[in-house]
A = this chain, B = another copy of it.
Amino acid sequence: MKGELTVTDSERARILVEALPYFRKYHGRTVVVKYGGAAMTEPGLRDQVMQDIVLMQTVGLSPILVHGGGPEVSEAMKKVGKEPVFVRGLRVTDEETVRIAEMVLAGPTNKGIVTLIHRHGGRAVGLSGKDGNLLVARRMEVDGADLGFVGDVDEINPHIIETLVGGGYVPVICSIAVGRGGETYNVNADHVAGFLAAELKAEKLLLLTDVRGILRDVKDPNSLISELTAAEARALIANGSVDRGMIPKVESCLKAIEGGVPRAHILDGRAPHSILTELFTDHGIGTMVIP
């Protein structure tokens, strides 16, 4: 609070009171947050996201965190002398690679997030898709290419999520799934988040990205679309106006919307406290997808 003397106590109180209608609106609701990008790598932003998560939990929401960790996996591969190979934006994933992915994602990445939530006063438990058989996947079919242990989630068993939320914990889920034969799959975290939001009948899906949202014209940063319907989103993908990196995020939103989630948001995770701003002020930020 040091050095920010301009905000008086009464302004402070007023701001809390202005958040009140939003606290009430989301009370008892589930919000799935896909965590990634700068918000995950930048220490300052990282702390802010965790504060946002703990605040959500404190005022009565049930936040669920989903994360991947592509850069950390690539870095770990390089340490053992493996060069990451991508085909159509998907990592070719042999047995050693998927083992490294599991080590990184279910290990330091997942547990680091859990620890940060505790440091900010919350309670969390980290999960991979193997825990409680949460995420069951089959090998992704990509015509022509053999990508190895890249999977598509096709079954979700949410009982462990409900057990943890009931026990007062924020579930933190990494994008590792289990195959029907017990094998390990690397899956897309955006997809997992959308699928989970649908399965849990979440009130909202929030995807933290490193862009401002969906642009009408990819080259024009001022062409942000603040709201679009699922149909419009599908059309944008179909006519090629969505940036490749953005496609899984838009698909994630669509999966959520189709599953009954009323609103899915693509947020700029580089902005401070973007989650709180979206949830608890009347400023819509980023792009909101609606049914």
Contact B182 A116 (CB under 8 A): yes
Contacts of A282 in B (CB 8 A): 1
Contacts of A14 in B (CB 8 A): 4, 272-273
* A271 at the B interface (CB under 8 A): yes
* A125 at the B interface (CB under 8 A): yes
* A13 at the B interface (CB under 8 A): yes
- A residues 25-79 touching B (CB-CB < 8 Å): 27, 48, 51-52, 54-55, 58-60, 76, 79
State how many angstroms separate the Cβ of A127 from the closest Cβ of chain B: 7
A24 vs B273: C-alpha distance in the bound complex, in angstroms? 19
A115 vs B183: C-alpha distance in the bound complex, in angstroms? 9
Range class of the A interface residue count: 35 or more
Contacts of A103 in B (CB 8 A): 76, 103-104, 107-108
Contact A169 B178 (CB under 8 A): no
- A residues 235-266 touching B (CB-CB < 8 Å): none
Tell me which of B1, B115, B160 contacts A18 (CB under 8 A).
Answer: B1
Chain B: CB-nearest residue to A122: B24
Contacts of A147 in B (CB 8 A): none
When all copies of this chain in the complex are counted, the total is 6
Contacts of A176 in B (CB 8 A): 111
* A144 at the B interface (CB under 8 A): no
State how many angstroms separate the Cβ of A95 from the closest Cβ of chain B: 11
State how many angstroms separate the Cβ of A236 from the closest Cβ of chain B: 27
* A123 at the B interface (CB under 8 A): yes
A58 vs B16: C-alpha distance in the bound complex, in angstroms? 11
State how many angstroms separate the Cβ of A178 from the closest Cβ of chain B: 6
Contacts of A80 in B (CB 8 A): 79-80
State how many angstroms separate the Cβ of A213 from the closest Cβ of chain B: 15
Given known contacts A7-B15, A12-B277, what 12 new A-B pairs fall within 8 Å (CB)?
A: A7-B7, A17-B273, A20-B54, A23-B59, A59-B60, A80-B80, A102-B107, A105-B107, A115-B182, A126-B128, A163-B169, A167-B167
| 5 residue pairs A–B, Cβ–Cβ below 8 Å | A10-B273, A58-B59, A106-B110, A111-B128, A114-B131
Q: Chain A: residues with CB nearer than 8 A to chain B?
A: 1, 4, 6-7, 9-21, 23-24, 27, 48, 51-52, 54-55, 58-60, 76, 79-80, 99, 102-108, 110-111, 114-116, 118-121, 123-128, 130-133, 159-160, 163-164, 166-169, 176, 178, 182, 184, 271-273, 276-277, 280-283, 285
